[in-house]
Amino acid sequence: MKRIIYIPFDHLHRNFGALKGADPKQDVIAMVESARMTSGRNWHKERLFFLISSARHFAQSLQEEGFTVEYVKAATTIDGLETIKAKYNINGVFCAEPSSHLQLAALKEFDVTLIPNDFFLTPRPLFNEWAGSQKSFLMESFYRAQRIRLGILVEGNKPTGGAWNFDKENRLPPPKKYDGPKYLEHKRDEIDIEVAKELGHTPTTTWATTRKGALAQLKNFIDNHFAEFGPLEDAMTTDNWALHHSLLSPYLNNGLLHASEVIDAAVKAFKTGDVPIESAEGFIRQIIGWREYVNGMYWFLGPDYRNNNQLNATRKLLPLFTDSDKTQMNCIKETVTDINDRAWVHHIPRLMLLSNLALVTGTNPQEFLDWMREVFIDATEWVMVPNVIGMGVHADGGAMMTKPYAAGGAYISRMSNYCKPCVYNPKLRIGEDACPFTTLYWDFLDRHKEAFTKNHRMSQQFFGLNRLSDLPELKMRAEEVLSGLEQGTI
Ligand SMILES: Cc1cc2nc3c(=O)[nH]c(=O)nc-3n(C[C@H](O)[C@H](O)[C@H](O)COP(=O)(O)OP(=O)(O)OC[C@H]3O[C@@H](n4cnc5c(N)ncnc54)[C@H](O)[C@@H]3O)c2cc1C
Ligand code: SF4
């Protein structure tokens, strides 16, 4: 039977999704560059470049294999599919389940035949079964069950190395003056140049746009970074923008790499004995634990979850998020500049700087989520929504995380080298030199003490708050800081 196989821009793998078993002689491949996707929002150009160029390269590789490929530009995905359907007069459009609630609804309405999404290691029904059986959705419980189910880093039902996690070993601050191995650079070809020209963008050489480049990035991580991944996982330094993070999320998310390929490479390298358990476990946890958990929760929690705002946070997005000149906070200035440069910063700046700032300033979660979706290279709906709404700004009333990730300047000072050159002092909570994070951390706890006071995991924090002798002055300083942040002067 002749089929139209629709390939969304995040299903770019020949062996998974609807392409598994596809026949170049029979099947027509449909790919749609929708205006909604390219110009609908204020997308970071590096992100658009990466997504579009990867899709065009993938289309070319399918053509080379002998497929008829229809790559069309249209106002919406459905408009594009209509055009292709009319041209070939084929009724059946097939697609693997898409990665957002919105697209799922649109494809269902268009009567697309959906194939189970196998771009993850955990089928959606299996995750729902796990989540449905839990009182609280602890990632750690899910992760341990994953290790056993997938047979990764386990001996029988026991964890390899004698522990399920080595987090304690993986919290080192950045070393002084840290160069680290050179990052891999990706050369640009004709397709890249064409896409860059259409977008009016000068791309970096950081992100590959082909399967070959994505595999090279995986090899580079395994050979040069994997062994040191763990201990410096949480560190932030201006000396080195990625330390030993893998930079694999864009390819895992658009399909150029499959999670099983990354895990196979990691397990193989660990078995050589050259990679310490704290790095192997730390990395594998991210892929078979966090990534799968976040995707599972996105589907489990449903389409309304993204609208949560249970802390009633109403502040408009601060100007510093879109213009690094609108702040004197060195950590934020550096982070926003890094995002402008390459559409990426690692997990800790996303969580403990950007989200922490949105949380303690009471920024509207949906405005913050929209901004995060627009500026990151690896942002997709399924991954941003739980990470921002649940983990980042605790807007879901604790459905995902047992307590908010709020922190003052002391944490940032310990885990980075941002504070030394900063005009603010992480140790101070009042006065003109006080670190905005430190002031607003206490102010946040005070503002929400009713919501959190019964949370036993926060008892130490409230014990600290109750001992503050300068709370009235701190509240006044917090007002000044919030108003200065709104005006772009702090
Ligand atoms: C507020 C916030 C927003 C985030 N937004 C995104 C996003 O839009 N897209 C995205 O892929 N990741 C997101 N993350 C997770 C994480 O920060 C990135 O996956 C990671 O920084 C990507 O860089 P890397 O590939 O070098 O990751 P590494 O540190 O090398 O980790 C390896 C892999 O683990 C996976 N992973 C780790 N943590 C998570 C997580 N919390 N959720 C999902 N996958 C995870 C990623 O696939 C990543 O490539 C977000 C985290 C936070 C706190
Ligand atoms: S002092 Fe505060 S604002 Fe300045 S870099 Fe440190 S944490 Fe950031």
pLDDT digits (tens, 9 = 90+) for 318-356: 999 999 999 999 999 999 999 999 999 999 999 999 999
Q: Which residues lie across from 65 on neighbouring strands?
A: none
pLDDT digits (tens, 9 = 90+) for 83-121: 999 999 887 899 999 999 999 999 999 999 999 999 999
Lowest mean pLDDT among 27-41, 120-134, 291-305, 408-422: 27-41
Residue 169 has pLDDT above 90, yes or no: no
Cα angle 154, 155, 156; round to 5: 105
Residue 180's pLDDT band (boundaries 50, 70, 90)? confident
- Number of Cβ atoms within 10 Å of the Cβ of 436: 28
Quickly tell me which residue has 């101070």 as its tokens: 428
Residue 240 has pLDDT above 80, yes or no: yes
From residue 338, alpha-carbon distances to 187, 260, 394, 437, 441 in Å are 21, 30, 25, 20, 24
Q: Is 290 in the pocket of ligand 1 (CB under 6 A)?
A: yes
Indicate the pTM of the whole model: 0.97
**Which of 320, 332, 435, 440 should be mutated for ligand 2, with most atoms under 8 A from CB?**
435
pLDDT digits (tens, 9 = 90+) for 441-453: 999 999 999 999 8
pLDDT digits (tens, 9 = 90+) for 427-486: 999 999 999 999 999 999 999 999 998 899 999 999 999 999 999 999 999 999 999 999
Q: Is 350 in the pocket of ligand 1 (CB under 6 A)?
A: yes
From residue 378, alpha-carbon distances to 10, 95, 254, 346 in Å are 10, 22, 8, 11
**Which of 233, 243, 249, 252 should be mutated for ligand 1, with most atoms under 8 A from CB?**
249
Q: What is the enclosing helix (H) or strand (E) of 82?
A: helix 77-88
Residue 416 has pLDDT above 80, yes or no: yes
List % helix, strand, coil for the chain (3-state, nearest 5). 55, 5, 40
Give residue 475 CA to ligand 1 midpoint distance, Å: 35
Q: What is the enclosing helix (H) or strand (E) of 374?
A: helix 365-375
Q: Is 342 in the pocket of ligand 1 (CB under 6 A)?
A: no
Q: Is 412 in the pocket of ligand 2 (CB under 6 A)?
A: yes
Name the residue at shortest CA distance from atom 17 of ligand 1.
Answer: 347
- Nearest partner of 207 among 100, 372, 37, 341, judged by Cα: 341
| d(C-alpha 359, C-alpha 381), whole Å | 20
Q: Is 413 in the pocket of ligand 2 (CB under 6 A)?
A: yes
Residue 207's pLDDT band (boundaries 50, 70, 90)? very high
273 or 90, greater pLDDT: 273
Ligand nearest to the CA of 414: 2
Residue 128 tokens read as 């729902």
Q: Is 407 in the pocket of ligand 2 (CB under 6 A)?
A: no
Is 480 strand, coil or helix? helix
Residue 171 has pLDDT above 90, yes or no: no
Phi-psi region of 89 (alpha: psi -120 to 50; beta: other; left: phi over 0): left
The per-residue pLDDT for 47 is 98
Ligand 2 atom, smallest distance to 409 CA = 7
